[in-house]
Structure 1
Amino acid sequence: MEKSIIVKNVSKKYKLYNNSRERIFDLILPKNYGEDFYALHDVNFEAEKGDVVGFVGVNGSGKSTLSNIIAGIVPETYGEVYLNGQASLIAVSSGLKKELTGRDNIELKCLMLGFSKKEIKAMEPDIIEFAELGKFIDQPVKSYSSGMKSRLGFAISVTIDPDILIIDEALSVGDKAFAEKSLEKMNEFKEKGKTMIFVSHSIGQMKRFCQKVLWLEYGRVKDYGTVEEVMPKYEEFLKTFKKMSKKEKQKHRENALESAHKQLMKSE
């Protein structure tokens, strides 16, 4: 099978500062200020053309960070990402300019993706119809609800017909009818053999839509395999995790991060 996505030894490091002064000192002075925080640690996975891969993990596990890196929105600190085709990210308000109207955002986003004004004019009615925003299409995006932003972003992304579609919690907001319509559109993409990344907290949507699952735990790959292999283990973990006290959850997180840090030190 032809590879569509290759993520090789990818890590993402951020700096955490106690105040703005530390941030400025870190920029201008030779001494290091702030604390290193790794949102991703040495992540490896591959997706073949036509794969639908679900990203699962509790909050703070790096699902959105990895999605943004694959989409080319956020650069990786270490490692490499290879894509076979154009990727498009659908996330709530992703890439939308709040001061512009929905219609202006359609034109801007499509121009940035390399479409001509003539091509955009031809696509615009389909985007507007799919988004179901009515008269709001000519209102500033800052007046939109989260669901409306998601609908506009989804409508743009599916109409431009990308090779790789990344959906990050875009179906978790808005009405159920639009979510069903969006899943139907995603099934069309699936039948066309396009590669998709699907980030969601909905176990039901994952089982219904995905073939493979990447389980991230605080920045590391915990497991990767078919839905049948990974989801039962993840569901069992969730049952245990939800029963933990706040203190126990914090301890679990600290242990996972410490283990990841040790592993990272060995590899450097």
Structure 2
Amino acid sequence: MEENYKVKVQNVTKEYDLFKTQSEKLRSFFAISKHQIPHFWSLMGISLTIQPGETLGLIGVNGSGKSTLSNIISGIIPQTTGYVDVRGDTSIVAIHAGLRNNLTGRENIRLKSLMQGLTNEEIDEMMPDIIAFADIGDFVDQPVKSYSSGMRSRLGFAIAVHINPDILIIDEALSVGDDTFYQKCVDKITEFKQEGKTIIFVSHSLKQIEMLCDKVAWINYGELKMVGETKEVTTKYREFTKWFKKLSKKEKHDFETERKNVQKNFSIQNYQKQVTEEMQKAAPQEKNVHSKVHRLFYSSVISEKMSVGNQLLTWAVLLVVIFFCLVNISGYSVGHVLNDPSLLMHPSDVLHLPDVK
């Protein structure tokens, strides 16, 4: 029987390489870097399920991976390992997400709406409503790069809610702006909830979380610390923040350093082994558990580095291009060079054409 869910995230991890220069990034992409690039695991095995019509809050201290998870669910970035199944169209509202700086607000409305599959006729019809909701006045025809963070948030939220997605993801978008617009956003979110929409709400404001969310997931330095009913999770989170605030400056620094070292030293091989052992223990008669876990981890992952086949193809194309460039400079035909490759080392001032019989 098929599970009834809107979003399912299973054993999801996200690794970031800590490049110091663009050349390091390029060498890593082509897998020709000779030294080990430091890395950091923003997520370390997140598993959760969001039901249709549910509003899930994501809480945690800065750098815990909340935005990373919301970006993976919305399809902005790929996960490093794990399974992500999103059943429906998503729209994310974040201060810096989805808006092109050099385009005007009006042009951004059209671009983002077209990307969501709307026609120009549909966009023309809802354009006045989006502009009225954003309430940014004449700035709608100015480049977004001139907007304040509050204006960006207004425009992004207005576009997202009028596109009418199945899943609305709100990432700290209510943390800026005035009280009037905040209430307008809350009213729209409440309307979406009444319509049975699925909402993922990322915020540092526990009051907002408690007012809007049915369930809460607490992500703590890349790990899923707790997921459950809103009041239960927010109570535990308040206890944690209260404990943290009582620490001395040195104790806070030591705690944060220790947690970040865990994220730097996380081993995906050890985690995969742990999941395999747990699945084998739960189903002792199950065969090929290791292969199933490997598929679960990597079958839906888009690699951010070149595969071996693509590397070989790239080098082959590069060598062919270099060869023809050298042939062109040499003054000899391809046939001449193939018969005597040493001609490449002795360019001619006279163009040698192939023999015609």
TM-score range, shorter-chain basis? over 0.9
Aligned residue-pair number: 268
Query: In structure 1, what is the equivalent of residue 333 of structure 2?
Result: none
Aligned runs of 1:19-38 on 2, under 5 Å? Answer: 19-28=21-30, 29=32, 31-38=34-41
Aligned ranges for residues 56-205 of structure 1 at < 5 Å? 56-205=59-208
**Which among 249, 270, 273 is matched to residue 266 of structure 1?**
270
Query: 8 Å contact 1:12–1:76 — kept in the other structure?
Result: yes
Once the two structures are superposed, residues 81-102 of structure 1 have per-residue CA deviations (whole angstroms, 9 ceiling, x without a partner) of: 1111111100003110111110
Return the alpha-carbon distance in structure 2 between the equivalents of residues 231 and 208 of structure 1.
Answer: 12
Q: Specify the code of the residue in structure 2 equivalent to 1:58.
A: V
Shift of 1:33: 3.1
Identify unmatched segments of 5+ residues in structure 2: 273-357
Partner Cα separation in structure 2 for residue 82 and residue 216 of structure 1: 20
Matches within 5 A, 1:172-251: 172-251=175-254
Conserved? CA contact 1:10–1:78, under 8 Å = yes
Cα 1:19–1:140 shift into 2, 3 Å: closer
* Alpha carbons of structure 1 residues 101 and 254: separation in structure 2 relative to 1, 3 Å: same
| CA distance in structure 1 between the partners assigned to 2:102 and 2:222 by the alignment | 34
Indicate conservation of the 8 Å contact 1:3/1:46, yes or no: yes
Residue 3 of structure 1 aligns to a residue whose secondary structure is coil
Aligned residue for 1:23, secondary structure, equals: helix
Larger radius of gyration: 2
Does the Cα contact within 8 Å between 2:44 and 2:266 map onto a contact in 1?
no
2:89, 2:168 → 1: CA distance? 9
Residue number in structure 1 paired with 2:12 = 10
The residue identity in structure 2 corresponding to 1:132 is D
The AA in structure 1 aligned to 2:17 is K
> Secondary structure of the equivalent of 1:80?
strand
SS of equivalent residue, structure 2 residue 6: strand
Report the Cα distance in structure 2 between the residues aligned to 1:246 and 1:264, rounded to whole angstroms.
Answer: 32
1: distance between equivalents of 2:107 and 2:146?
A: 14
CA drift of 1:251 comes to 2.3
Greater RCO, 1 or 2 (C-alpha within 8 Å, sep 6+): 1
Q: Deviations over 1:60-99 (max 9, x none)?
A: 0000000100010011010111111111100003110111
Report if aligned partners of 1:16, 1:37 keep a CA contact under 8 Å in 2: yes
Deviation at 1:241, TM superposition (A): 1.4
Give the deviation of 1:26 after TM superposition.
2.8
Q: Are 1:26 and 1:32, in contact at CA under 8 Å, matched by a contact in 2?
A: no
Cα deviation 1:18-74 (Å, max 9, x = unaligned)? 444433443441534311210001100001001111100000000000010001001
* Residue identity matched to 2:162: T
SS at match of 1:42: strand
Structure 1 unaligned residues grouped into runs of 5+: none
Residue 253 (structure 1) aligned with residue 256 (structure 2): yes
Q: Which moved more, 1:258-267 or 1:188-197?
A: 258-267
CA contact (8 A) 2:24 2:33 kept: no
2:48 alignment counterpart: 45
Deviations along 1:172-225, one digit per CA (max 9) or x if unpaired, are: 011111011100100000011111011111111111111111000111100000
Percent identical among aligned pairs is 49
Deviates more, 1:24-33 or 1:157-166: 24-33
Task: Considering fraction of residues, name the structure with more strand.
Answer: 1
